[in-house]
Amino acid sequence: MRNVLRFILRYRILLTLLLLQVSGLYLTYRSSPMHESFYWSRVLGAQAEWNQTRDGWKAYFLLETTNEELQAENARLRAQLSQPAARPINAVDSNQFVWVSGQVIYGTSHLLNNILLLNRGRADGVEPGQGVLSPTGVLGVVSDVNEHFAKVTSLLHAESRISGTVARTGFFGTVVWSGGASNLVDYIDLPIEAQVTVGDTIVTDARSALFPSGWPIGVVVQVESDSSLFTQSAVLEVWGSISRQQPAYIVKNVLEEVQNSLLSQ
Amino acid sequence: MKRWTTWALWSIGILLFQSFVLSQVQLYGYLNPYLYVAVILLAPATWSRMQLLWLGAAVGAWMDFQMHSGGMHLMATSLLAYFRPAILSSVLPRAAEENLGFTLQDMGSGKWLVYTAVAVSAHHGYLFAVDAHGIYHFWAFIWRTLVSGAASLLLLYLTGLLIKPEEAR
């Protein structure tokens, strides 16, 4: 017993370092945030409030860009409204989604696993697993919520997988991110016959239950073909910036349970 | 620094600057300067390893809290704090015994650069390795460490120019 105590006293500094490292690892790799308790939801709330206070001043400098983007979106929507004959082909699935508008209040883009924070939470009907869009593209998927804030797994996260389709030809692929520049994402798993070319627009597809189809993701800036695997991959440039303060739409698929119940019968 | 009061004032200033300005800088997806390591690098030479370790843990935990990064910064800062006495004494062998000052003016550019560059590359390298779950993308990892490290080093140098050497007590 005395020897154990002596050992602890002798190596107390190294042991403290190891303890700190292990707790850091635990905090970094702790399991799915969806199973996290009340405690982490409280921490998220405190973090979000601090971010909001700290980053508030930045929003003023971005107001002009934000306004222009919203005006452009309004113009697009008005144009659609004024042409009742030309109903969008995805009219069914646009009724299938409930939209909650909010604001990105914090975001990182320099890490390999980036996150965003939104100022909408459970009180506004936001739940983990819902998709998040910006006026100009896709932001990510909600991973954690508390009463008033939501944490989003950004499109710029190594584990993010979002399906997208080539607007011109309709082939399916997957949008992933593997680090590097924060305006470039990879588009993989394309069949070789997809014949993607530089300048093609990639949009969300109906295959994913997360997003309404036809929402823009990015534009192809580089294509690579692998003839041995019969696949193509491409690099997409996203519009706007993902990790800045901007308006965000959280979309909820109201027919998700109906779809699932049909599948399970 | 020799006096902990001067150090504490500088630390508060540096941490506020890091939170409100530097953490907002994210150029090209790589560049994110971490000036806050200065808080650990400048802590008085007489402080024990244990004191430094808890200081590092507190600074790291604060960074993690505001950057939502789990415990990454906590791991990197505590590692840096653990090795600081060793790095410092390899550059200034009698710093702890004689409570030598080690601001930029005290040490001179050469020694200061060795001390700071070793500390910054250890801290940034470890931080980015934990973030990327290892160093699988080896060159991307080296590049991130170099670019961010150079940016931090430049900022540390500019901060160093502002800090006046203290007179003996």
Reduce the secondary structure of A124-153 to three states and give it as a string.
Answer: HCCCCCCEEEECCEEEEEEEEECCCCEEEE
Q: Does residue B124 sit within a domain?
A: yes
Residue B141: inside a domain, yes or no? Answer: yes
Asked whether residue B169 is assigned to any structural domain, the reply reads no
3-state secondary structure of A202: strand
Domain extent, residue B14, equals 4-162
Q: Are residues A27 and B131, on separate chains, in Cβ contact within 8 Å?
A: no
Is-contact B75 B122, C-beta < 8 A?
no
The alpha carbons of chain A give a radius of gyration, in whole angstroms, of 22
Q: In chain A, which residues have their Cβ closer than 8 Å to the Cβ of B79?
A: 17, 21
As separate numbers, helices (DSSP H) first and strands (DSSP E) second, chain B gives 8, 0
- Does B147 reside within a domain? yes
Q: Tell me which of A39-43, B31-35, B106-110 is least confident.
A: A39-43
Task: Walk me through the domains of chain A, giving residue ranges and CATH numbers.
Answer: 38-253 (2.40.10.350)
Contact A106 B82 (CB under 8 A): no
Contact A108 B26 (CB under 8 A): yes
Pick from B70, B82, B140: which is nearest to A28 by CB? B70
Report the candidate in B144, B132, B164 with the shortest Cα–Cα distance to residue B27: B144
DSSP letter, residue A53? H
Mean pLDDT score, B47-55: 90
Q: A54, B26: Cβ pair inside 8 Å?
A: no
Contact between A13 and B137 using a beta-carbon 8 Å cutoff: no
Q: What is the mean pLDDT of residues A203-224?
A: 85
Whole-number pLDDT of residue A34:
42
Residue of B nearest to A30 (CA): B70
* Number of neighbours of residue A39 by Cβ within 10 angstroms: 8
- CA of A57: which chain B residue's CA is closest? B20
- Give B169's pLDDT tier (boundaries 50, 70, 90): very low
Asked if A54 and B29 come within 8 Å (Cβ–Cβ), the reply is no
Q: Are B53 and A24 a contacting pair at CB < 8 A? A: no
Burial class (CB in 10 A: 0-12, 13-18, 19+), A54: middle
Q: Tell me whether residues B24 and A108 touch, CB distance under 8 A.
A: no
Higher pLDDT, A157 or A73: A157
In this structure, is residue B57 part of a structural domain? yes
Once rounded to an integer, what is the mean pLDDT over residues B100-115? 82
Is B136 touching A (CB cutoff 8 A)? no
Segment A98-122, tens digit of pLDDT:
888 888 888 888 788 888 999 889 9
Q: What are the structure tokens assigned to B106, written together?
A: 């005290």
Q: How many alpha carbons fall within 13 Å on the CB side of residue B109? A: 4
Cα of B132 to nearest chain A Cα, Å:
6
Residues 84-143 on A with a CB inside 8 Å of B are 106, 108-113, 115, 117
What does the pLDDT read at residue B66? 82
pTM: 0.63
Cβ-based burial of A123 (10 A; exposed 0-12, middle 13-18, buried ≥19): exposed
Instruction: Tell me the average pLDDT across B85-110.
Output: 80
φ/ψ (deg, to 5) at A44: -60, -40
**For residue A87, is pLDDT > 70?**
no
**What is the rounded CA–CA span in Å between residue A213 and residue B119?**
49
User: Is the pLDDT assigned to residue B58 strictly greater than 90?
Assistant: yes
Average pLDDT score over residue span A175-199: 87
Q: For residue A91, what pLDDT is reported? A: 47
* ipTM value for the complex: 0.75
Under 8 Å CB-to-CB from B125, ≥6 apart: which residues? B141, B145, B149
pLDDT score for B168: 46
Greater pLDDT, A51 or A38: A51
| CB-CB neighbors (< 8 A) of B71 in chain A | 23-28
Residues 6+ apart with CB under 8 A from A182: A109, A110, A114, A156, A241, A242, A243, B26, B28, B29
Residue with the bigger pLDDT between A154 and A206: it is A154
Closest residue in A to B74 (Cα–Cα): A24
B168 occurs within a structural domain: no
DSSP secondary structure, B54-101, as one string: HHHHHHHHHHHHHHT-TTHHHHHHHHHHHHHHHHHHHHSTTHHHHT--
Which token pair is A86? 């030309």
Per the domain annotation, does B126 fall within a domain?
yes
pLDDT of residue A232: 87
Q: For residue B77, name the pLDDT band (cuts at 50, 70, 90).
A: very high
CB atoms within 10 A of CB B107: 22
Burial of A31 (0-12, 13-18, 19+ CB in 10 A): exposed
pLDDT at residue A35 greater than cutoff 50: no
Supply the pLDDT for residue B56. Answer: 93
Interface of A with B in 174-213 (CB under 8 A): 178-182
Q: Read off the pLDDT band of B167 (50, 70, 90).
A: low
Report the chain B residue with the minimal C-alpha distance to residue A28.
Answer: B70
For residue B13, what pLDDT band results from cuts at 50, 70 and 90?
Answer: very high
What angle in degrees, to the nearest 10, is found between the helix axes of A38-81 and B49-67? Answer: 30
Would you state the pLDDT for residue A39?
A: 61
Q: How many domains does chain B have?
A: 1
pLDDT range class, residue A263, cuts 50, 70, 90: low
Does any domain span residue B167? no
d(CA A105, nearest CA chain B) in Å = 12
Residue A46: is its pLDDT beyond 50? Answer: yes
Reported as a pLDDT band with limits 50, 70 and 90, residue A82 is low
